Structure 1
Amino acid sequence: MTPAFSSWSDFFAMGGYAFYVWLAVILTLIPLIGLVLHTVLFRRRLLAEIRQRQSRERRIRDAKSKKAASEAAGESV
């Protein structure tokens, strides 16, 4: 088995087609990196919104239970 390129400079030159090959590589990697970045940022934002909503629901539930407890204590006295 023989290597396709005899040196690193031959590899980067891609047999004279380096511009087209590396342009294709870059134009493939940029959208993939953008997609991964978008996914990570969207996930963080979504999790923050979920935490905020759960905190709000917990505060509402606590306020309702506190109100119900104070009404029950006021009626029994």
Structure 2
Amino acid sequence: MWNSSAEFFAMGGYALYVWCSFGICALVLLLEPIAVRARHQSIVRRLQREVMAEQFDKKDGK
């Protein structure tokens, strides 16, 4: 299709759109697992605090 690597990277005049799309997609694919892990850790910490609070309330009530 392309006669040179420069033509390939130019993408027939659509290089800005094509490479920005690839870049944004790559960024999302990198950031999504990080965001999911952070959210998971936040939920686990909150649940641990709730369990500790319930245990404290049970001790205090006895």
The reply to whether TM is greater than 0.5 is yes
Structure with the bigger RCO (C-alpha within 8 Å, sep 6+) is 2
Rg larger in structure: 1
Provide closer, same or farther for how the CA distance between residues 50 and 36 of structure 1 changes in structure 2, counting only shifts above 3 A: same
Q: Which sections of structure 1, spanning at least 5 residues, go unmatched?
A: 1-10
Shift of 1:21: 4.0
Equivalent positions of 1:1-77 (< 5 A) are: 11-13=1-3, 21-25=7-11, 27-28=15-16, 29-73=18-62
Q: Cα RMSD (Å) of the superposition?
A: 2.5
- List runs of 5+ in structure 2 lacking aligned partners: none
Normalising by structure 1, we get a TM-score of 0.60
Change (3 A) 1:19 1:59: closer
1:36 aligned partner, one-letter code:
C
Residues 9-37 of structure 1, C-alpha deviation per residue, up to 9 Å, x if partnerless?
xx444xxxx67643311944433222111
TM-score by length of 2: 0.72
